[in-house]
Structure 1
Amino acid sequence: MDVRKIARDLGTLDREVFEAVAESPSPLLDTAMPRLTNAADHSKLWLGIATVLGALGGSSVRRGSVRGVASLAVTSLVTNQIAKRLWHRPRPDRTLIPLARRSRRVPTSHSLPSGHSASAAAFAVGVGLESPPVGLALALLAGLVGLSRVATGAHYPGDVFAGFGIGAGIAILGARVVPTIPTSAIPTADPLRYHTDPRPDGDGVVLVINPDSGEGTGGRVIDEVRKRLPHIEIVKLDGDDDVVQVMREAAARGEVLAVGGGDGTVACAAGVAFDAGVPLAVFPGGTFNHFAKDIGCDTVAQTVNAIRDGSAAYVDLVRLNDDKTVINTASIGAYPNYVRVREKLEGKIGKRLAGAYAAYLTLRRDQSVRIAYDDKTLQTSLFFLGNSTYLPSGFAPSVRPRMDDGLLDVRILESGRRFSGLRIATAIALGRLVRSPLYHELQVPEFRFTTLDGPTVLAHDGEVGESCTKADFSVRYRALPVFRPLP
């Protein structure tokens, strides 16, 4: 096989295709191509699109815009500072191009590869790795940018294809270094509906709420509920009440137990409703209201409408040592402090770097606990357990696609090994924590552990709990009906 002859033949074909495009009379090419190629100068087109995507897109689109810009930046550096210096191919003869179609700027660098095409491919593929529909649309636009480089006489077609290959390759390589976040890693399922009568005026509903909760949010909840559900019974808590006893009495005389407050109060009400065999309605009245948001009731109006329509479905509960209820998460060690540090910084430096710094800081302070579970014994400062599976994997769980999968989501970062803090922080920063031998993740219906060096504090649902030496978690699958919006 004569490689030189093949190269000459390809070069001849490349020039012939260029000349065919140059000699094609087309008003569309004459008007559209110069404008498009000028818009792509210095990546202005892609940076403008990234700004729009970041402002208006969803979470996956925003991540895609960041990934696209990062891929573009690396590609531009590689193309202009390395690739163009390796191949000294002269530019095409611009005199073959109609005058109206020629770009205003005359490039002086070598022709192979096309920098515009490389940047276009890098941005489109980078966005597409996080959001395929948007990436497809951008790929079509990137193809037109590549065509514009040939139509305006800046490059041969081979230069454009080489640029596409470099840009796409760098974007894909970037995904190996910083993996993408899947939009959904577990299958979803239709909720199991709880059949109950509509209650347009709130008949049979007993609401237990502290008017002073959430810095006055409780009082506003009471006013809105009274207005929209005139027959509801409202029990106001004060500082001297036995909250559990008040809730038990409310559940005994009502057909629906409603609660207003934060996640700790909701967890208490969920346990009472489960024991009493009545459905639960949740009005968000705390600081974060994770449970209310996850069931689609992050406003009073949404809960009211669900009660009025009789819209309810079953969710899982987690029982801790058979006498306590967990609705969201539980943790030992310094996990709550880790979350506070990460959330404080992620708006300034991004979630990934904030998570890396928070993990390094937490592990460095050595608030570790030795635990035994299954057939393992390890030391950990960061232990997380969730009711149902959270996304994404790693130590920034934020979304529950469903709340009735019958599983506990357990995540453990192992400390106590050589340079464990630095190793974990580096893995988080590079997006490779799930591949680290120091990271343990499992989804199981039951989980139990024992502390080996005395009692440790177990926190759950935003509340600092009691000290324990043993913890036994088990899922009550689809055990509690809750009022929530349903499709």
Structure 2
Amino acid sequence: MADTRGLAGLLTSADKRVFRFAAARHWPAAEPVLPRLSRAADHGLLWAGAAAAVAVLGRGARSRRAAARGMASLALASVTVNTVIKHAARRERPRLDVVPVIRRLSRQPVTTSFPSGHAASAAAFATGVALESKGWGAVVAPVAASVAFSRVYTGVHYPSDVLAGAALGVGAALAVRGIVPTRSQLPSPGRPFAEAPRLPGGEGLVVVANRASGSAELASVVSDALPRAEVVTCAPEDVPAELERAARRGAALGVLGGDGTVNRAAQAAVRHRVPLAVFPGGTLNHFAYDLGVESVHDTCRALAEGEAVRVDLGRFTPGPDGQAHGYFLNTFSLGVYPDLVRVRERWAPRLGGWPAGVLAALETLRRGRQLDAEFDGVRRTLWLLFAGNNIYQRMGPTPGHRHDLADGLLDVRIVHGGRLPGARLLAAALAGPLSRSPVHAAERMRRVRIGGLAPGTQLAYDGEVTAAPPELVLDKAVEALTVYRPQVLSASAF
């Protein structure tokens, strides 16, 4: 016991000596910066701003995930430190008589000293960001370290408080990763592997870029990365014809645009039996991200090595505009969602995508138009039928990502009719996949037959809306599409 007390005393003495050394030392470059930085980190405001900057400046799914993971890690660290550990430890703050007045904070903390909540939040945010994006982690880490040191520099914490807080912050980020795995931890959706021609520099590749998807700038990036490829940028109305011509004359078909454009490209690639190269260029890029392709350079690497996989296509029969089949890479739906898409597309040019989506949802639910349909001869009233191409894993209250793009299955979810559509849709979302309740049913299926649809019923597939036939069948074209994807995904910085 005496040895234990002696060791604790030595550690406490060393802690105070380091604190006095930091307080007595002159740090000319730090005086105008660290006190302000310490105040900026109060209540997590600095990190909220950093998360917004990462999400906006990153312009990609990885950056958005990094920002979200950083804030989730910060929230867990803050709750753990401020509501549990501080009340248990109750260590007094350092005395300020050795700290120059110019360094002291104008408003001194009133909570106990151990551990440092600022250091915990800084370390949690930086670690969470780095777990998703090493590049953004490297940008954030120096700021986080400066915030942690500022707590000793301004005299509000001992060094051990900061070290303990930082360790707790790192632990919080790792705990969040245990609950919600990072993309690198998830099983690869790229199976089974397929043969595809090697096209170094893009030789033999024809890329069609949809100008309306905001892909004009990325088209130049593709041209620079693949100097031997032919890149055709066109208006939305010209996309189907250009895709057909490109698929006929190219060794592979490339597409740069949103999910609707990628859907058309996939159909052209299947018809002409050429592999597809997808360059993420839309707003959401669901298919590309679920495939594991998050940047132009991911696709370029796969083209250079001839690395590809086979994936399923969802299919509905009959297809739109009198076609034998219609295909969907992501989702098919009947009910309120086609109405929502139609209203959103009408308002989006004036309001922007997200505000238009919110207002469209409110308008669609306010109208409350239910759908009558027959399933295996049984008449049902419903608000929504959702069919996913492959099984969607739940990420929170909504369908998340797919871990297997060649499982041969449809993820079918139905929200039954009744009063209060908004409440029913929310209850269905919270219930999750593969569940049954009075408002919601979810099953894994290979084939769905739907009949008795009234004239004027709309269906939506991959964000496109068209008139639904009176009867249709949903099934799968298993492993019908070959698409380029690197066998080892890039660990690119951003």
In structure 2, relative to structure 1, the CA distance for the partners of 1:379 and 1:361 (3 Å cut) is farther
Describe how 1:89-168 pairs up with structure 2 within 5 A. Answer: 94=96, 104-105=104-105, 110-112=110-112, 117-122=116-121, 124-125=123-124, 132=131, 154=156
Q: CA deviation at 1:450?
A: 2.7
Q: CA deviation at 1:448?
A: 0.8
1:4 match: none
2:450 match: 450
Q: Percent identity?
A: 25
2:337 maps to a residue whose letter is Y
How far apart are the structure 2 equivalents of 1:136 and 1:446? Answer: 42
Please state if 1:60 is matched with 2:61.
no
1:42 match: 39
1:7 match: none
Please state if 1:388 is matched with 2:390.
yes
2:321 match: none
Larger Rg: 1
How far apart are the structure 2 equivalents of 1:320 and 1:465? Answer: 12
2:432 match: 434
Q: CA deviation at 1:108?
A: 6.0
Match of 1:279 among 274, 277, 282: 274
In structure 2, relative to structure 1, the CA distance for the partners of 1:452 and 1:42 (3 Å cut) is farther
Q: CA deviation at 1:324?
A: 0.8
Match of 1:335 among 334, 337, 340: 337
How far apart are the structure 2 equivalents of 1:212 and 1:109? Answer: 54
Contact 2:373-2:380 at 8 Å conserved across structures: yes
How far apart are the structure 2 equivalents of 1:254 and 1:328? Answer: 24
Q: Any stretches of 5+ residues in structure 2 without a counterpart?
A: 319-323, 489-494
CA displacement 1:91-121 (0-9 Å, x = unmatched): 56555x5x56996248666453669x23443
1:5 match: none
In structure 2, relative to structure 1, the CA distance for the partners of 1:434 and 1:332 (3 Å cut) is same
Aligned to 2:468, the other structure's residue is in SS state strand
1:314 match: 310
1:363 match: 365
How far apart are the structure 2 equivalents of 1:425 and 1:143? Answer: 41
Q: CA deviation at 1:475?
A: 2.1
- Provide the TM-score with structure 1 as the length reference: 0.58
Q: CA deviation at 1:321?
A: 3.0
- Provide the TM-score with structure 2 as the length reference: 0.58
CA displacement 1:321-350 (0-9 Å, x = unmatched): 3741413242212314435777979xx999
Contact 1:202-1:307 at 8 Å conserved across structures: no
Pairwise CA RMSD: 6.7
How far apart are the structure 2 equivalents of 1:297 and 1:152? Answer: 42
How far apart are the structure 2 equivalents of 1:153 and 1:334? Answer: 58
Q: Any stretches of 5+ residues in structure 1 without a counterpart?
A: 1-9
How far apart are the structure 2 equivalents of 1:298 and 1:146? Answer: 34
Report the number of matched residues.
442
1:6 match: none
How far apart are the structure 2 equivalents of 1:446 and 1:112? Answer: 60
How far apart are the structure 1 equivalents of 2:25 and 2:378? Answer: 69
Q: CA deviation at 1:379?
A: 4.3
1:118 maps to a residue whose letter is G
In structure 2, relative to structure 1, the CA distance for the partners of 1:470 and 1:12 (3 Å cut) is farther
In structure 2, relative to structure 1, the CA distance for the partners of 1:383 and 1:131 (3 Å cut) is farther
Q: CA deviation at 1:457?
A: 2.8
